[in-house]
Every structure is written in C-alpha cells, then in structure tokens.
Amino acid sequence: MSPSGAETPRSRGTYAKGVARRQEILDRAIEVFAQRGGSRTSLRAIAQEVGVTHAALTHYFGSLDELLVAVYRESAQRLEEAAASRDNDGGADPRGGADGRGGDPADDTRGGADPADDAGRAGDADALISPAEAMRISAAENREIPGMVQLYSTLVASALDGAHPAAQAFATDRFSRLRDELAARVRALQASGSLRADLDPALVAALVIAASDGLQTQWLLDASVDHEAALALLDRLLAPPAV
C-alpha cells in the first residue's frame, strides 16, 4: 500500500502470490484428506503430510477446523464444476448435486441465491428432482471419495463441541441452506401432485437430511449398508398414493 492508502503494483503482486500459495497448499491438502479422511490430528502432523511448514499452514488456515472446512468446500465445488462441465459437453452424469450437478446439494444455493428460484426455473415441477432423490444422487457421488465423507462426518461431530467454532458455523450454515433448498423442492412437487400434500415441507427436508446423514455414517462403518437404496425407499414413501 502507498502512504495514501492506495494499492500499489507491488502490494497486488504480493497478494496474488499469497492467494496462489494458499491454493497450492489447499490442493495438496485435498489429496491428503481424500485418502485419509478427516480423523482428528494436529495441524503440525497435517503440515508434514502436505509438505509445508507448520508456520505456513497456520498462516493461511488459522485452525485445524478452518483447514477442514476449506478442504471440504473446495472438494464439493470441484465436483459440482466437473459435473457442470460434463453437462455442457452433452454428457450429463446421473450422479451429482441436488439438481443433477456434482458436489454438495447445499452448495446449490452458493452465492445467496433463493432456493425457491431454483424450483421455479425447473418449469415443469414434475421433472424436479425430489429431496430424497437429490440426496441419493449426492450419496452416489460421495461413494467415489470416502475420505471426504469421513471428513464431513468429522466436521459435523466437531460442530457439537463449543470448542470448534469454525466447524459449528460450517455445519449450522450447511444444514440451514440445505433445509431451505429441499423444502422449496417439496413445495414445488406438492403443487404438481408428485409428493404428498399433507406433509410439512420443512419437516420433510429435515427428515431427508437426517436419513441421509445417518445412512452415510452407517455406510462408513459397514459398507454393506445400501445408502442409495434406503433413500430411494424413502422417496417412494413420500410419494402420493397411486390413483
């Protein structure tokens, strides 16, 4: 910065290098956690695995929780972007986020978009993916990277402990956005007659999330648990009776 407070070319260059260095560390951390999951360890141990100094890691990520949150969010965003790229190439993958895109369904509202707008853009509500199906699709994607599933579970478990504010903020925000997004889908499907009209959208959203996360935990402990089939069953239970 100059004495007047204006940004100088040198300060811009230093900032850009810092951003690039942080991304480089994050890229390596994603590789490490994809293999090992999010089991509790120290920043010092992670720094050694990533191949940087402890000081460098704490400079860019102030705490272990901040690093774990950054790794999970970046990984989820990459999955979403990869699926979007497949869609643009005309090779849409049936796996992906809550509307067929990859990544975390909660990230469909990234950037502050109104989840109701997502439902409205579908045009034909009958074609809108149901909440349980959205989570089933996400589960199929998650099976490819079990380390990130474990990392997510670690973050949610840490969120229950007041000593982990970054994890708590992450989980609280994610659940809130995901409930809103799925509830919007419920309302659209109810309006089209594709989902039981006597159900409270907010409660359906909360139930689907609870079922998906619980099944995910069971799958981590026992790979024979069919997460996807159980969510497909829940989807059928929420459908209106056949006429």
Burial 80-103, CB ≥16 within 10 A → b, else e: bebbbebeeeeeebebbbbbbbbb
Dig out the tokens for 87 from the structure.
Answer: 């869609």
* Full set of structural domains in the chain with CATH: 9-238 (1.10.357.10)
Which residue's structure tokens are 């990392």? 151
Long-range pairs, 24-29, Cβ under 8 A, ≥24: 25/50, 25/52, 25/56, 25/57, 25/60, 25/61, 26/70, 26/71, 26/74, 28/52, 29/67, 29/70, 29/71
| pLDDT number for residue 109 | 37
Specify the pTM.
Answer: 0.74
Contacts of 135 (CB under 8 A, 6+ apart): 98, 105, 208, 209, 211, 212, 231
pLDDT single digits (tens) 201-231: 999 999 999 999 999 999 999 999 999 999 9
**Tell me, what's the pLDDT at 39?**
67
How far is residue 241's CA from residue 141's CA, in Å, rounded to a whole number? 30
Query: Taking all residues of the chain, what is their mean pLDDT, rounded to a whole number?
Result: 80
Q: How many residues does the chain have?
A: 243
First to last CA, the chain: 70
Per-residue pLDDT for the chain (243 aa), expressed as one digit of tens each?
Answer: 555 555 565 556 667 787 888 898 898 888 888 877 766 677 888 888 888 899 989 999 988 899 999 999 998 888 878 777 766 665 544 444 444 444 566 665 333 333 344 444 444 443 489 999 999 988 888 788 888 898 999 899 999 988 899 999 999 999 999 999 999 999 999 999 999 999 999 999 999 999 999 999 999 999 999 999 999 999 999 999 875
Give yes or no for a contact between 122 and 128, defined as CB atoms under 8 angstroms apart: yes
R_g of the chain, CA atoms, integer Å: 20
> Would you state the torsion angle of the CA atoms of residues 224, 228, 233, 235, taken in this order, to the nearest 10 degrees?
160
* Rounded Cα gap, residues 87 and 219, in angstroms: 29
242 secondary structure, DSSP code: P
